[in-house]
Amino acid sequence: MIHVHKFKKFKFKNGTIAFRCVLCPTYVFQDNIIGYDCICWRCGETFKMTAKTMKLTKPHCDCNEKKQDMVLKKLLEKII
Return the percentage of the chain with pLDDT > 70, whole number.
Answer: 81
pLDDT tens, position by position, 23-69: 999 999 999 999 999 999 988 899 999 999 999 999 999 886 666 66
What's the 3-state SS for 39-54?
ECCCCCCEEECCCCHH
- Total structural domains in the chain? 1
Can you tell me the distance from the alpha carbon of 4 to that of 2, in angstroms, rounded to the nearest whole number?
A: 7
Closest to 39 measured CA to CA, from 64, 58, 65 = 58
3-state secondary structure of 30: helix
pLDDT tens, position by position, 56-72: 999 999 886 666 666 66
Instruction: Please indicate, yes or no, if residue 2 is contained in any of the structural domains.
Output: no
Range of the domain at 12: 7-79
Instruction: Please indicate, yes or no, if residue 1 is contained in any of the structural domains.
Output: no
Half-sphere exposure of 38 (CA within 13 A, CB side): 30
Does this model's pTM top 0.85? My answer is no
Q: Which amino acid is at 20?
A: R
